[in-house]
Structure 1
């Protein structure tokens, strides 16, 4: 636990202190200087920068395995969630000398491999955690794929859950494990663990074909097309994040919402359209305490996506028809 203390005493002893007066904190042997701890980042709730840092300190052991050795994009909100934000892919030149980095393409990314680096990044107002689907050493072999269920105008999180349940029928038919999580904003993310060295090209093709199949089977509910004219009244299944260079929101990431909502992993039994909601910081910490890490299969499960051919479409079509008849 961080303890309140005077800045001068903290500076001289390097104690684990974090308060409005304190600016120096010892994090696992690294002495970090924090700033503006009383600054309000979420005006609707009064949630401060110090509280953001405290959340990430507490959730750190749980979230760090999902960040390990992945190119990290800083999305910075220096004036809080109602201010302007900017992305920073290039790891800042003024970074601490112990911050690990890795090169992908022409960019040197920060790697969030320990708690000190995580809190250093958050202190730069990078309150959201955005990483690639692959690691810095194997960017074209993602350890997971993601379906981003994004509600169009007139649709809410409940609509996304309805689509998620239909996609779960597909996953079950293919004997694929998937982890649902709230985006922390309006939508839902479905993470499919891979950890099998499957190439990004075949992963991307599967997600594209799966999204198009869902649109074919549920045309009044789903679109796989990005342009906004196709999305009103429907859930857009965004499959296009499945590339080696795009980032996605990590589990347990805070979001720049009106309130401090978190991208929260769920149990499939919680996917009930009538009870759809987002979760805030205190709730997420309590969920982890009681339920453990519901996203753990993303790190542990090894599986390979099949080729989405006509035979597979037939199998899935019959499975969905059977499911629909049984539900009637």
Structure 2
């Protein structure tokens, strides 16, 4: 069936007869499951060969789905970046892949998800003639019975996830803006599903960004206007626009360009910077504006006011309650990073960082003047913290608990650069993980951290323990062994950390040490096993560090750990693109907690001790 399509509007409809869903930017997909499974695109293209992870997931759960077949879902196939945003660039790259080996590798490393928003058939019965609300009720019930995620979650291993249907437009829109989502779709509660029709009962509204720019050329064959801003003294092209003009606006602009042309050839009419426009667009994709629409003429601006710096500043809509003060304040010199760059980093990395901050007492290191001034530790929540900041009291301190994007951005505005967390949550009685901190004497000896990590990985593999690795963001590496919640004590884990530390030292005493005093370590790597204890902290995955090179505590894939690994490569300017391209190496971290079989190892260590 050809899909039902929404109509674009610049204002979302309101009223009791409307419901609101997050709009995800991916491939429209219809999943039909009778005797065979088919997943087709909007244009009828078969998608399963390109996205085998969906097929694998469905076949692995065939018994769960069997009572409800034949079944048809209407959905969006996405690379889920956060609960409210899909990564358009990533899904485009996946869609162009042709090598089966590469497709399979990418589907394992960074699987896509099917975001289901409608139910068209269940147990062979068509629901297309029923109202939207009835279809949604049955879809919600089905997901409950299948025990599939009731809301989008990029960390959840289940690859079919449910798109919510909300009644409050304003609260949903605020969240979509906060997470930099594409937009929303409003749907009438009594609307039927109409095959192949672009309908007024589904209305999409997008989270537009705005840029002030000027026209530099007009393409005669197709009517496109070429747009630029000033980057220093040079013209910097940002894209082209043809949509959004009223006929009289487009004609006027064409005439102005023709009357004031600087030169002309067979393809273009060129004009000097003079005519300023405001253009709205979704995002930057392959260095061009995506879905640009003319918004208005800016006769109040001169071209000199249309700068690349302002363009960068406006690329992310920030929520109303996330005021950023002094956005151009320099924080790092090399690479040059301003406060707004840091805020954008926190926003983009939040889906991967927040799960590790969730429900943990937070200690931050703040740098009010960036790397150009003194820093200080902050544990107690300040009196001026907004109401949305959650807290938890422990041992005389009212700690911040960073459980949401708002708190993360607020902390970013306070220039909290380093985020340090304990090994347990506010709900757990013991450690949630074991962490080995491999700390060489300096970056010059980073090779010792690599050697220690590989030696420990060999032991962990032999013991059949699941492990993860990250840089410290400074000069070392940190190995994580996730544990089931509320099952082990710090006394238990101390047996294991002591065993591993002693193993390393006995294997290579010239390279490794457990000596606490720095002056006695020489040029050996310190294996800090004592630091893993109640009340102690470790830097959070994806936290920046207060170092001159803007290092980030970056999760790594184990296959990256070779002699060629360089700690300097993992800095603030590179991590967001790294995660978009490669996915998150800690993606399966929380699922591994339930699978981790630490008991046999602990039993052996306890017997040895006794």
Q: 1:165 aligned to 441, 444, 454, which one?
A: 454
CA contact (8 A) 1:157 1:273 kept: no
Cα deviation 1:222-263 (Å, max 9, x = unaligned): 111221133222111112221221111111111112122211
Distance 1:174 1:98, change over 3 A: same
Q: 1:175 aligned to 451, 458, 464, which one?
A: 464
Aligned to 1:146: 435
The whole-number CA distance in structure 2 between the counterparts of 1:157 and 1:300 is: 30
Aligned to 1:297: 588
Aligned to 2:605: 309
What does residue range 34-45 of structure 1 map to in structure 2 within 5 Å?
A: 34-45=324-335
Q: 2:546 aligned to 231, 239, 256, which one?
A: 256
What does residue range 187-202 of structure 1 map to in structure 2 within 5 Å?
A: 187-197=476-486, 198-202=488-492
3-state DSSP class of the match of 1:237? Answer: strand
CA drift of 1:78 comes to 0.6
Judge which range, 71-80 or 299-308, deviates more: 299-308
3-state DSSP class of the match of 2:399? Answer: strand
The whole-number CA distance in structure 1 between the counterparts of 2:443 and 2:545 is: 22
Which structure carries more strand by proportion?
A: 2
Judge which range, 152-161 or 109-118, deviates more: 152-161
The whole-number CA distance in structure 2 between the counterparts of 1:132 and 1:75 is: 15
CA drift of 1:33 comes to 2.2
Asked which structure has the greater RCO (Cα within 8 Å, sep 6+), the reply is: 1
Judge which range, 54-63 or 299-308, deviates more: 299-308
CA drift of 1:26 comes to 4.7
CA contact (8 A) 2:359 2:425 kept: yes
Aligned to 1:247: 537
Aligned to 1:229: 519
The whole-number CA distance in structure 1 between the counterparts of 2:501 and 2:388 is: 42
CA contact (8 A) 2:417 2:544 kept: yes
3-state DSSP class of the match of 1:71? Answer: coil
What does residue range 1-328 of structure 1 map to in structure 2 within 5 Å?
A: 1=180, 3=209, 26-27=318-319, 31-138=321-428, 140-152=429-441, 155-197=444-486, 198-278=488-568, 279-302=570-593, 303=596, 304=598, 306-307=601-602, 309=605
TM-score (norm 1): 0.83
Distance 1:310 1:101, change over 3 A: closer
CA contact (8 A) 1:127 1:254 kept: yes
Cα deviation 1:78-116 (Å, max 9, x = unaligned): 111242111111111211111111122221111111111
Cα deviation 1:1-29 (Å, max 9, x = unaligned): 594689xxxxxxxxxxx96999xx753xx
3-state DSSP class of the match of 2:484? Answer: coil
CA drift of 1:291 comes to 2.0
CA drift of 1:312 comes to 7.0
CA contact (8 A) 1:70 1:134 kept: yes
Distance 1:233 1:182, change over 3 A: same
3-state DSSP class of the match of 1:192? Answer: strand
CA contact (8 A) 1:103 1:136 kept: no
CA drift of 1:147 comes to 0.6
Task: Structure 1: give runs of 5+ residues left out of the alignment.
Answer: 7-17, 314-328
CA drift of 1:149 comes to 0.5
Distance 1:154 1:128, change over 3 A: closer
CA contact (8 A) 2:388 2:406 kept: no
3-state DSSP class of the match of 2:321? Answer: strand
Aligned-residue Cα RMSD (Å) equals 2.6
CA contact (8 A) 1:179 1:297 kept: no
Distance 1:137 1:127, change over 3 A: same
Aligned to 1:323: none
Cα deviation 1:134-168 (Å, max 9, x = unaligned): 10122x42211111111025852222101110011
CA contact (8 A) 2:496 2:605 kept: no
Task: Structure 2: give runs of 5+ residues left out of the alignment.
Answer: 1-179, 181-207, 213-308
Cα deviation 1:257-292 (Å, max 9, x = unaligned): 212221111111111123333312342112211221
CA contact (8 A) 1:153 1:234 kept: no
The whole-number CA distance in structure 2 between the counterparts of 1:167 and 1:71 is: 29
Judge which range, 159-168 or 257-266, deviates more: 257-266
CA contact (8 A) 2:473 2:567 kept: no
TM-score (norm 2): 0.46
CA contact (8 A) 1:40 1:46 kept: yes
3-state DSSP class of the match of 2:534? Answer: coil
CA contact (8 A) 1:267 1:294 kept: yes
Number of aligned residue pairs: 298
The whole-number CA distance in structure 2 between the counterparts of 1:295 and 1:96 is: 31
Distance 1:185 1:153, change over 3 A: closer
Aligned to 1:9: none
